[in-house]
Amino acid sequence: MTAHMLEHMALTLILGPALAAGARVRLRIPAAVALVQFGLVVAVLHVPVVWNAVHERPLLQVCADVLTLASAALFWWPALSVASPLGPIGRTAYLMVGMPLMSLPGVVLDFVDHPLYRGVSVSQQHRGGALMWGVGSALSAAVLVAAVWGSLVREERDVAGAGV
């Protein structure tokens, strides 16, 4: 479970933001849709029957990882892409709403008193939940600060360039 959580944190909190930050195109997907789809992907992949199936079949594992990365990149795009329509306040609000979506399954895993997944003990589940909730929240907060800072710097540069 620890390896699974570390893998998902790498996909959602390192690679996803990196892909989104590098995107120079303006996606025609509203921020609310990006937010909801990410929350659904995270939630559904942690439903016990889905989690068990994914971890018993290597092809499903690859599909789940690709889905997680694509969903994360789409989620992070409104907050990190230079082509995003959201300003600094919009980016901040978006991420403040989105951060709990990543933490909620970790909270559940950390506090449930029985195993949810086949082959995973309660202590492994608690450790995975703590990683997702604690470390995931800290990494999300770091990306939030970086996103808002970058947005403010771009806005300041635009104002200075316009001579206002």
Say what the pTM is.
0.84
Largest CA distance in the chain: 63
For 52, the 3-state DSSP assignment is helix
CB count, 10 Å around CB of 153? 11
Helix (H) or strand (E) holding 40: helix 31-45
DSSP 134-153: IIHHHHHHHHHHHHHHHHHH
What's the burial of 1, exposed, middle or buried (CB within 10 Å: 0-12/13-18/19+)? Answer: buried
Look at residue 42 in the predicted model and tell me its pLDDT: 93
Q: Which domain holds residue 16?
A: 2-162
Domain count, the chain: 1
pLDDT tens digits, the chain, 164 residues: what are they?
788 888 988 999 889 989 988 887 778 889 999 999 999 999 999 999 999 999 999 999 999 999 999 999 999 999 888 778 887 788 888 988 888 888 888 889 989 999 999 999 999 999 988 888 888 888 888 877 887 787 788 788 888 887 76
How many Å apart are CA 103 and CA 108, to the nearest integer?
A: 9
